[in-house]
Each structure stands twice: as C-alpha cells, then as structure tokens.
Structure 1
Amino acid sequence: MYAERASLLAGAVVWTNTPSGGGPGSVLPDGCMDLLWNEGRLVVAGPDTRAYVTEGAPSTWVGVRFYPGTAPAFLGVPAHELRDRRVELAELWSASEVRRLQGRIAAASDVAGALEEIALERATPPDPVLLRLVAALDAGRPVAGTADELGLGARQLHRRSLAAFGYGPKTLARILRLQRALALARAEVPFAETAARAGFADQAHLARDVKELAGMPLGRLLGLG
C-alpha cells in the first residue's frame, strides 16, 4: 500500500510504500530525487530518465521526495552523477555520519517523521531561477522561450539543469509532460484529449513517449489491459 503527505520541506512529499504482492515493480521518471529508508539502510534515488524496475522480496520503503532541482544542494552532489542510479547514502557522506543517522531513524517511533527531520535540518533555500524553470516547463512553456525569460543562454541553462536535475531542460520538459498526461489519464480523461491537454502533438506522440519513458503502453500502465 502506498501513502503520501505533503512535507514541511517546501515542495517535498513524505511517502511510505509496502508492496502487497511479489514480482518486480516500476518507478516512473518524475523529475525528482528521493532520500529512502529500507530495512535499516539510507539510500538515495537519483533522477530517472526511464522507468526504474524494482526487484527482490517486497519490503516497506519510506521516502522523502524532494521538489525537482532541490536534492543536490541537500546531498552535496550534482544530480547528473546519480542519474538512473540508486546508491547508499554512505557513498556520498561519511560512513560515521550515516551510521549515526541510521541509528536515529531505527530508534524513532515515526520513521517517516525522522527521515523528514533529517531533510529539514540540512535543507538550503532553493534556487529561485530553478523554481521558475520547473514552473514554466511544467506549465508547458517551450525550453527556448523559458531560457530567454530567465536570461540564460542555452549552454548555461543546460549546464545548470545537469547539476540540478541530472539531465538537460528538454528531458525535464518531457518528463514533466509525461506526469501531466498520467494525471489526466488516471482521472479518466480520454487519451486523445489527454494528449492535447498535456502538450503532445497527438495521441500517437503520447503513446510513443509513454512507451519510451515508462517502458509499457499507457493502457497497461493504467491497469486497463
């Protein structure tokens, strides 16, 4: 079972997930990075450019999903170094510090709350330029026009996006468009209307992007077949 709530950390989400069945699962690209707790371990989920397939026996995961572009400042690592990866936090921070944090979480009565507290303690103010970039792309604004509005050249925007999101702004725009489409389709908006409202050229364009980014057709992704 999956459950989430808004975090006290701006734009972040605190979530828990206990899979009910066996077999692999799939985590879709969403523009975010997560700090995870699973069976006594602290793990970082880097930014995904494709569906991440989970394997192994079902177990409970707890996470803080950072708002797009904000996790690298917390971690002290550029996002592109973690692209499409899951790494132990001890690979990024000192082993002694991670052991201390793991002991703190393990002893907590509210694991999700303890994980959130760690994120809040180390949080830094988000870059307002990156926040504007995410908001513009999530609203379907074109990358070139957004760069002009932000006063950034193409190379500068790409460099800053790699560090903040793990990939360039065009990839971020595709992923945010996918998430818009999924929200509409899950609300039972017809696929053709979903494509138009989410910013795709047509339904075929939607189908291609979903297959490439999510690894399966939209209908199957929604459990329709």
Structure 2
Amino acid sequence: MNKINIAIDGPAGAGKSTVAKTVASLLQYVYIDTGAMYRALAWVALNSNTDIQDDSRLSALLHNTSIELKPSSIGNRVFVNQEEVTEMIRSNEVTAAVSDVSAHAGVREQMVKKQQKLAEGKGAVLDGRDIGTTVLPKAELKIYLMASVEERAKRRHIENINKGRDADLQMIMDDIQSRDQKDANREISPLIKAADAIEIDTTKLSAEQVAKRIQDLAEERIRVV
C-alpha cells in the first residue's frame, strides 16, 4: 500500500500528541514526537545551567547531545545520551522553558534536519508547531488542530493531576496563553496554519473522534498518491 506523511500542527494543548499517536496506531505508521525533541534539549539545558536565551550555546549543546525516540507499546520513550527522560521532560520547568529553547534559529535548523531524516521513508505522523510549513512542507496531508484556551488548560490540568504533577488551573491557563503568544510571534518558524492544512476544532471532540476523522482523510489521500 502507498504511504504518505501526515503533518499535525496547532497550539499547546490542542491534543496534537494524543491524536497523532492514535492516528499512527490506526494506520500502522511511525509517530515522531517533535515536541519531545525540543523538550529533551530544554531538559538538558536546564540541568547543565546552559542559558536558554543563548542560541550559540544551545546549538552547540544540541550538536553534542544524543536525542532518541524509541517506540514502545505505550508510545515513544525519549532518551538523552542513553538516559531515559520520558517523564522528566514533562515537568513544569521544562514546559516553561521549551518555547524559548525552540525559538532559536540554530536549534531549529538542526532539529528540522533530524525530523526530516526520520520521515524520509514516508509512513510517518509528525506533530508540532511548524510541521506543515517548515519540516514537511510537501506532506500529503496537513492538519491544524485548535481548541479554546479554557479547554486546553482543562486537559493539561487533568493530565498533570493524573501524573502527580503540580496542577494549578489558572497557572496552566496563563502558561498556555503565554506559549501561544511566543509561538505565534517568534521570528523563526512561527506557529501558523499552512495554506493547504485542514483545520479541526477539537474543543468538543474526543481524541478518538479527531483521530478517526484524520484516518479517513489519510485513507482518501493514500488512494490517490
């Protein structure tokens, strides 16, 4: 069967990762969590006291850091220099730092090359902020997920509670609004909807409903490639 690449973009908390993992499972595709790659670098920077505002130092740090995504029955496991950091990169500290880390040109240039390499063979689902516009501008199917700030904050709040993390709803809402502003206004690869992306509002939909719609769209594209 023909395979395609699927690019899923959208703001923080729109459900990208959950939906992308489900779509990959439904289609038996590879899921590439690009956000986890930036989170891994943010985690390394914070733990090595590297200035997250310094592009040259962050770029050098990334060049000398091994970041691996290893599939498992419960999704990608993330390894930094052979150490698993899957849970650690989801901390509030990393979440607060990742937008600044991902805004640097040198960092994004290296990350984009890594992500494009991972998707070379087709049959991949990637989610992030600039997949359809920068990483895979020729992806056969581009999706832009969105949801209200309130709904996105509620989802993150529930996720944090379930995982035993600090969970202040107002703080999460403020963080999401701050990340939206940073992501949309950064100079390098800002968060924008690709011209040929299909927009899906997930506010009142379950992850399963969104994934099924994307699966249907993907199967239509697969038939014509």
Q: Which has the higher contact order (CA 8 A, sep 6+)?
A: 2
The normalised TM-score by structure 2 is 0.26
Considering fraction of residues, name the structure with more helix: 2
The normalised TM-score by structure 1 is 0.26
